[in-house]
Chains A and B, each alone.
Chain A
């Protein structure tokens, strides 16, 4: 909401504060200042006296303007929405417009220009279409910021509808800077004894939806443009002046927060009814659109048709026009949620609905009407009828809240004196009615519909007291570590390991497109969870695995020319089984050479064994990569990752076809692991192993064997050999010749080095030979191997 500092000055003396100080006062009372609109210096009112076409540019015009100086000033201008005699804002050389663009004298296509004619937007206002045509009364040469004083753009939180007016904001400022309002009249706004009422001509169908409806009749009005002071007041806060009566209703709304509406009484036939819309009823609103209404929409109607959508907008046919002679001023109190629902459903909102749906002070309905009527009499002539036509209740019982002083102190953590509290709340119009046993009964002003519980009063005290007065306490007790702590630390541990071997951590959106699901090549369950209301086609499902995100990132980086990809991401994956399941996974992607440098010009591209190396480094013990039964889409190699007989994840090489679609020059390897399962299965070292006291003896085995005998089979066989002195073994050579020249291409050659050692004595060569022969025999017996 826009608030003019000048206008606030009608209600509170702010002369001893500058704009920044006022901004701070508002900020610390809880009203966020989103912007300060201040027209720049050196921008003045100028009058166009001549317009010519620019000799060298079709889109430019050369103008002569009167700026209050002795001679005319020549300005080149691109706008076309003006004519001779118009008054427009002129930024003089040295003026700073549009976020620090400083105007200078210049030649535009060869023609001298000594300043700039501005649109409202160029000066920080709203309207950007063409030059800002100023009212003709403005004196040439006047500084624009004298005419339009500083305006604050405020964000009023939804709990504070009472601040949606100048009086409301002034009230708040008065409380924080301990000043009194000019014409302070909080206490007398509950009723107005002067008003005579006539309830015969209005009927309210449902007083839950409208508790009070009033009309004030004024005859012999003369509709014309508002006087200058009113126009510039409205313009300064971004409202367009229309005519005196409409401007007055808007002015009163911005002044007091009570939305009003003016009807042309000649266009009303018979009695007024506040009723629910009929089925299929349509309504043509002031904005020119026709709306289809439903029975939950509330309308104001006469005998024939709906005249207004209650609290939202007037009708096109019953509004005030130049020809209007007699008006009805409507001031009413409508139900918050009814207005909100209608406004939302119809997609129609207005300054009026904005206030009603947040809550309007019911006690000021009549007062606002009175103020508008007096202004109309003053500015548009006319005679006010004494009688106010009303229906509903004026009876708003006073509310109070009981608050325990000690509880308030405890919540604030501050030892607040009772007198201080009385002062703080008193400045907000909250008055102590009685005090007993440490409990005070506080009366709540009618405009503060947000205050209903003691906690709401604690907030008022904290807000006005200022949080800087509250001490900072640093205390607490020990917390038990949780499963979430363990997972966090575990992920941190993995991250450290991966960082140290050159991996980047990535973080991506968990929403992916349907077509990306098949990119989750390391997920066994690809039943992704789809959104009911996605925002766009590329974010429709929650990812069932992490590889889709990593591939997308890889593709992006490949297109940026990156060769070395070492990426990992941890995070939630979502799958649909019987139930929707959320699990925490880690995904890895490696591709391309590790590290190209002047010392190593042709590093090898990452291969499958780099991937398994990373996995082993991560898990810290030996894992088995066992080929999957089905290869799956988009993969050329696919394996289960097995740790101690449990599948902990999947590893895969992306299919060349899919890689090509990413423009990848190197094969891409990926793996995805389930963190919860690993955490459960991974071993922690709880005792160290003594260093060997006796020397070991090595024996090598070199063998030829068919391609289908895997390393794993040999290892299993070796592991099953019952020998006290065979301590470890390790592959040291692998050979396979696809051409078959050096070795039959249906065979491969493997060489292992076996380490023998005893913990009790130094082994003799003969003992080792004997044990080694046993090993050879076992291998031969179990597997189709030939030793070389």
Chain B
């Protein structure tokens, strides 16, 4: 039997080394190790051996089985590796991908989201108000003179019932102070409307982000800290920012904020980006009158307010020169922001 095992082992080794395909090897595995394989048949002869011969024969049998199995596995591995390498070599990795489509948000929304993220880190929460507003909320309460040009029908959209489309999101300041007691710390993104012809720099409807912070002892220093943090969050922590004195009916003192825009190959330029100021005491007085209490008396509270144009922010951030691109929604344009 030992002799026989030696022959089987030898033949198996030779046949395995000659085999060239996985199929052949699988057949060999069956023909040697299968239920009716040569080795299996040989093993069945064990029962005919004497008690003394058995251990030796068993050991030999196991060794032969292990060696054939190892040979088979090695050969299979070798063949598979050969096959694997072939596959790798045939692939042109420079062919275009099969793209997984994922698109994204409108640039104005991205600007808005970034602003909101920064302001929420500072503890602002969101507020909203209607876009169809009363003249009181849009102008009177915001200390706008009765004969101010912004109230003209040439500048503002009106409805037959005397209401109007808000010309700024500052109306939400009034809405919020009307229903919430101080302190308040809110931001209000939303649409505002002006009766302007649409051209490369004007839209009849655009998006603003309003902010208001009213509490005891809110100061110009708070305003400065908040807006610097906000604008540097959006445009980079090293972006130079300047405050220029300006005039708005609803804030005193009032400022416009510029950021220094650097475009490669061009002279850097200060770009106006927001209006802000300390809430005018006349706005507080009007709120007190409307509420019938003195929670917002300028003797008790102070506050700051600001407004950013979101289209403008997006245009500056990405160097978009025609504002109409932002409302045309050409997919080729939108794709660039995804």
Contacts and interface: CB of A to CB of B under 8 A. Distances in A.
A471 B221 contact: yes
B101 to A, nearest CB: 4
Contacts of A474: 122, 225-226, 229
B322 to A, nearest CB: 15
Given A474-B122, A529-B159, A562 B102 contact: no
A477 B186 CA distance: 12
Question: In which size bucket is the chain B interface?
Answer: 35 or more
Contacts of A482: 125-127, 186
Contact of B103 (A484, A502, A534): A502
Contacts of A599: 98
Contact of B105 (A483, A505, A562): A505
Interface stretch (B5-13, B74-82, B244-252): B244-252
Contacts of B158: 531-533
Contacts of B163: 580
A415 to B, nearest CB: 10
A715 to B, nearest CB: 31
A467 B147 contact: no
B281 interface: yes
A473 B126 contact: no
A476 B225 CA distance: 11
Interface stretch (B15-23, B47-55, B61-69, B324-332): B324-332
Question: In which size bucket is the chain A interface?
Answer: 35 or more
Nearest to A476: B123
Nearest to B132: A580
A341 B147 contact: yes
A595 B99 contact: yes
B84 interface: no
Contacts of A536: 197
Contacts of B256: 32
B147 A472 contact: no
B295 interface: no
B131 A473 contact: no
Contacts of A499: 102-105, 338
Interface string B226-266: 10110000000000001111110000111110000000000
Contacts, number: 234
A510 B225 contact: no
A556 B123 contact: no
A767 B101 CA distance: 47
Interface in B124-175: 124-128, 130-132, 147, 153, 157-160, 163, 165
Interface in A446-484: 453, 455-456, 458-459, 462-463, 467-468, 470-484
A410 B153 contact: no
A507 B102 contact: no
B159 A532 contact: yes
B204 interface: yes
B125 to A, nearest CB: 4
Interface in B159-199: 159-160, 163, 165, 183, 185-186, 188, 191, 193, 195-197
Contacts of B108: 507
Contact of A411 (B196, B207, B220, B244): B220
B245 A462 contact: yes
Nearest to B328: A556
Given A472-B228, A484-B127, A504 B102 contact: no
A463 B197 contact: no
A560 interface: yes
B125 A504 contact: no
Contacts of B308: none
A503 B221 CA distance: 43
Nearest to A155: B246
Interface in A111-169: 157-160
Given A411-B219, A414-B220, A509-B327, A484 B128 contact: yes
Interface in A480-499: 480-485, 487-488, 492, 495, 499
B213 A476 contact: yes
Interface in A21-50: 27-30, 32
Contacts of A27: 244
A413 B222 CA distance: 8
A778 B245 CA distance: 80
Contacts of A511: 193, 204-205
A507 B211 CA distance: 22
Contact of A471 (B101, B203, B224, B253): B224
B329 A529 contact: no
B217 interface: yes
Nearest to A491: B109
Contacts of A571: 191
A348 interface: no
Given A509-B204, A509-B327, A535 B247 contact: no
B244 A28 contact: yes
A445 to B, nearest CB: 19
B98 A488 contact: no
B224 A509 contact: no
Q: Which 4 A-B pairs have the closest CB atoms?
A: A413-B221, A413-B219, A30-B245, A459-B253
16 contacts: A30-B246, A341-B147, A468-B243, A473-B219, A479-B185, A482-B127, A484-B126, A499-B105, A499-B338, A504-B331, A504-B338, A506-B106, A510-B131, A510-B205, A560-B330, A597-B96
Interface of B: 95-96, 98-99, 101-106, 108-109, 113, 116, 122-128, 130-132, 147, 153, 157-160, 163, 165, 183, 185-186, 188, 191, 193, 195-197, 203-205, 207, 213, 217, 219-222, 224-226, 228-229, 242-247, 252-256, 278, 280-281, 298, 302, 326-332, 334-335, 338
